[in-house]
Amino acid sequence: MRIEFSRFSPADVDDLVGFLTGQPWPFHSGVQDPEVVRRRAADGAYDDEETRTFWVLADGERAGLVRLQDLADDTPMFDLRIGQSWRGRGLGSQAVAWLTGYLFTELPQVNRIEGTTRQDNHAMRAVFRKSGYAKEAHYRESWPGLDGALHDAVGYAILRRDWISGTVTPPHWDDEVSGHQA
């Protein structure tokens, strides 16, 4: 399978609306409304000085979407969506490898890249680990599901130095001073 990435353009709005509203997104909050997507696109939410969006093309077909956010910061974040019929084929890992290289190569001020997912999104968590991202955060009952239930969320990040060296530096989790009270 040939994977490519193509920058979103304002002419793609109808395709964007169809992609975001035409299939289920079980690990994303809220329901996508076509008019909201159109308004957000018109307001630059998918492409402006702080956001760039790319289509993930699999054999020429729009199979996914990568949205890079907070690009003026030294720690951008991303949203990755793989279309329902393309899930489970390795596109997520290829997309995260590509976006990581893109951000560290194109934006020299970027020191780290962050992403967050629901705790029960095992596929995305595996993509983070495979891509060299370290788990840095666990947010209890912070991600509302479509059914109203609250799910835990987990945050991952990769440091530029780890990307260059091909290593993963985990956070120091045991830094609490015992016996001291605030």
Local confidence band at 51 (pLDDT 50, 70, 90 cut-offs): very high
Q: How far is CA 67 from CA 24, 56, 132, in A?
A: 18, 10, 19
Local confidence band at 32 (pLDDT 50, 70, 90 cut-offs): confident
**Number of domains, the chain:** 1
What burial class does residue 125 get, using C-beta atoms within 10 Å of its C-beta: 0-12 exposed, 13-18 middle, 19+ buried? middle
What CATH number has the domain bearing residue 7?
3.40.630.30
Say whether pLDDT at 112 is over 70.
yes
Residue 46 covered by a domain: yes
pLDDT of residue 31: 59
Residue 110 covered by a domain: yes
pLDDT tens for 163-179 read: 999 999 999 888 887 76
Residue 174 covered by a domain: no
Residue 125 covered by a domain: yes
Say whether pLDDT at 89 is over 90.
yes
Q: What is the mean pLDDT of residues 81-106?
A: 97
Cα–Cα nearest to 7, from 48, 36, 42: 48
List, in order, residues 6 or more apart from 172 with CB less than 8 Å away. none
Q: How far apart are CA 22 and CA 78, in angstroms?
A: 21
Residue 176 covered by a domain: no
Q: How many helices and strands (H and E) does the chain possess?
A: 5, 7
The residue range of the domain holding 136 is 3-165
Q: How much of the chain, in percent, has pLDDT values that exceed 70? A: 97
pLDDT of residue 173: 87
Q: At what angle do helices 122-130 and 91-106 cross, to 10 degrees?
A: 50
Residue 121 covered by a domain: yes
Residue 172 covered by a domain: no
- How far is residue 36 CA from its own chain's centroid? 20
pLDDT tens for 150-165 read: 999 999 999 999 999 9
Residues found in the chain: 182
pTM of the model: 0.92
Residue 179 covered by a domain: no
